[in-house]
Amino acid sequence: MAFGKPRTPLTPEEQVERNRRRAIGLSVAAEAFKQGDPVGRALGLQQQFEQQAQKAEQEKLLQQFADDPRYANQIKLLRAGLDPSMFTPKVT
């Protein structure tokens, strides 16, 4: 039995989560050695990882809408940083 190796293969999601936990642990240890704020560092990294996951989910949803021809032009405008409502006709 090899030390530190999982007995069963991990799914990609499990591997990402495992790598995140390791990154936080190593960063906290490095911060402690520098006599910094390890708790603050851990919380900051956790928040950063959550923001990355949220952004990835939003991008995934945008891609799904971009594949639909009804929304493709609006998604292109959003990605360009423009407000799609500027280009829609005003109904009065």
Domain segments of the chain as ranges:
13-87
The pLDDT of residue 63 = 86
Cβ-based neighbours of 55, under 8 Å, separated by 6 or more: none
Tokens at 42, concatenated: 């851990």
The pLDDT of residue 2 = 63
84 membership: H or E segment, kind and range: none
Instruction: Please tell me which residue, 86 or 37, carries the higher pLDDT value.
Output: 37
The pLDDT of residue 83 = 84
**Residue 74 pLDDT class (50, 70, 90 cuts):** confident
d(CA 31, CA 33): 5
* pLDDT per position as a tens digit, 34-59: 888 888 888 999 999 999 999 999 88
User: Is pLDDT at 78 greater than 80 in this prediction?
Assistant: yes
Neighbours of 37 (CB within 10 A): 13
Instruction: Please tell me which residue, 1 or 29, carries the higher pLDDT value.
Output: 29
Residue 38: exposed, middle, or buried by beta-carbon count in 10 A (0-12, 13-18, 19+)? middle
d(CA 16, CA 68): 30
* Average pLDDT estimate for 63-89: 83
Q: Which residue has the tokens 């971009």?
A: 66
* Cα angle for residues 9, 56, 12 (degrees, 5° grid): 5
